[in-house]
Amino acid sequence: MTQNEPRVFPPDFVWGAATASYQIEGAAREGGRTPSIWDTFSHTPGRVLGGDTGDVACDHFHRFRDDIDLMAGLGLGAYRFSVSWSRVQPTGRGPAVQTGLDFYRELVDGLLERGIAPALTLYHWDLPQELEDAGGWPARETAERFAEYATIVGEALGDRVAMWTTHNEPFCAALLGYGSGVHAPGRTEPESMLKAAHHLNLSHGLATQALRAVLPRSAQVGITFNPGVIRPFSDSPEDADAARRIDALHTRIFTDPVLHGSYPQDLRQDTARVSDWSFVRDGDEATIHQPIDFLGLNYYTPTVVSFAQDGAVKGNDGHGVSEHSQWVGSEDVVQFHPAPGEVTDMGWVIDPTGLTDLLLRFHREVPGLPLYVTENGAACPDKADDAGVVHDSDRIAYVHGHLAAAHKAMEQGVDLRGYFLWSLLDNFEWAYGYSKRFGMVHVDFETLQRTPKASARWYAEVIAAGQLPA
């Protein structure tokens, strides 16, 4: 295919957009909802830029009907959202709260009425604070509680939601939450980080079993990862080894047990000085290795690493990986480098080839498993004109480039079923608060008014045409 030909997607390709509960819902203290770790973290001075919190966020809890109208106006075929555990089972134990479940039932019904398929994620990082107080993800019991929560949500919505995801980016929940501490709950405990990763994996296995027991047979169950696209700085064997170490810690710590049923031996060796991994019990890896119906992949930017000559861990890849790479191996051996090229407002280099590489990797690793891009998008320094419209040609170029990269992977045989743009709305970007805008719909955080950006209109045209313009 030449540069000048439009890229046509299959007629049943799923065109979606994604959000997450804590980033958009607000209504933090309504309907019996109790604090999650992100409520606690964001209310702790110094944790989130500008002291921003998700107390109000986009107020989607009250405005979800308007937001569904916006989605319908764009012609979205699917909407990926997450459920707030604290809203449906406030203490993380025991009976569900009906008002919480009613909110998600109304949301799902509203989507279905407009012909938009709901794609539900059970966990996008907002653990009920009570469970964190009882030990959080480093505690094995949290995995068991998660399976109970999965049953509650599965029983409530299984008759109307066809696409179920257990976790979004467990990398962030474990490594950023318990390793580097830049995300909630803000702990910096190397062994807890590894335990958290294992219990997130275990909870995926247990929740998948729990969902299968209550969902109709036609329901699709999967998980979303944000695997690193790790590139060695040079061709040297030392830099290849640095890339291997970070790939193990960032990606294979999750993908190997989930997709293949065992932890990588090299990861166990690399991390031997912080843990003997005795928290992995007999049978755990088999439990984690449940059959899944699809794999969700999130991609934003690649990571470049090298061997650090002087043994120091340096640089920052923008994800916080560097802050915990010091626990990989018996010596501190990895240096992060800024990848060359233009960057988004997050400082993340724009490199669509990484998406093609990522899709091809998992196409080869798990042949026959349908893939979705469950997140991809750009934070841009948006400026509204006098009419309040943002002309975000930078975001359009980013999405265009990445859709073309996804199409290229499909030409090479990748079974890619859909693409979810991150994000529908500007929202609470975790430790960056409201300072970073990823939305294709602008949100005025004073008035909460929504205004579609140029990218929203562009995406609607792509969806309507089912193809990317040349």
With binding defined as CB under 6 A, does residue 126 bind ligand IFM?
A: no
- To the nearest whole angstrom, how small is the minimum distance from the Cβ of residue 198 to ligand IFM? 21
Q: Tell me the DSSP string of 77-98.
A: SEEEEE--HHHHSTTSSSSPPH
Q: Which of 422, 434, 458, 459 binds ligand IFM (CB under 6 A)?
A: 422
Cβ atoms of 427 and 53 within 8 Å: the answer is no
Instruction: Please pick, among 25, 285, 323, 375, the residue that the annotation labels catalytic.
Output: 375
Q: Which of 67, 256, 270, 375 binds ligand IFM (CB under 6 A)?
A: 375
Q: Residue 9 gets which letter from DSSP?
A: P
461: annotated active-site residue = no
Instruction: Please pick, among 25, 169, 323, 429, the residue that the annotation labels catalytic.
Output: 169
Count the site residues for ligand IFM by CB under 6 A.
8
CA distance 251 to 337: 19
Q: Which of 52, 132, 284, 429 binds ligand IFM (CB under 6 A)?
A: 429
Cβ atoms of 83 and 97 within 8 Å: the answer is no
Residue given tokens 């809203």 in the structure block: 87
Half-sphere exposure (Cβ direction) of 465: Cα atoms closer than 13 Å: 13
Instruction: Identify the CA nearest to 140 among candidates 341, 243, 12, 280.
Output: 280
- To the nearest whole angstrom, how small is the minimum distance from the Cβ of residue 167 to ligand IFM? 11
- To the nearest whole angstrom, how small is the minimum distance from the Cβ of residue 80 to ligand IFM? 11
Q: Which of 14, 17, 20, 122 binds ligand IFM (CB under 6 A)?
A: 20
169: annotated active-site residue = yes
With binding defined as CB under 6 A, does residue 298 bind ligand IFM?
A: yes
- To the nearest whole angstrom, how small is the minimum distance from the Cβ of residue 18 to ligand IFM? 8
What b-and-e string marks burial along 4-23, b requiring 16 or more CB atoms within 10 Å of the CB? Answer: eeebebeeebbbbbbbbbbb
- To the nearest whole angstrom, how small is the minimum distance from the Cβ of residue 77 to ligand IFM? 21
Cβ atoms of 400 and 392 within 8 Å: the answer is no
Residue 203 or residue 298: which is nearer to ligand IFM going by CB?
A: 298
Residue 122 or residue 210: which is nearer to ligand IFM going by CB?
A: 122
Q: Residue 173 gets which letter from DSSP?
A: I
With binding defined as CB under 6 A, does residue 178 bind ligand IFM?
A: no
Residue 301 or residue 325: which is nearer to ligand IFM going by CB?
A: 301
Cβ atoms of 413 and 457 within 8 Å: the answer is no
Q: Which of 52, 126, 169, 285 binds ligand IFM (CB under 6 A)?
A: 169
Instruction: Identify the CA nearest to 369 among candidates 467, 264, 260, 253.
Output: 260
CA distance 45 to 341: 35
Which residues have a catalytic role annotated?
169, 375
> What is the contact surface with ligand IFM in residues (CB under 6 A)?
20, 23, 169, 298, 375, 422, 429, 438
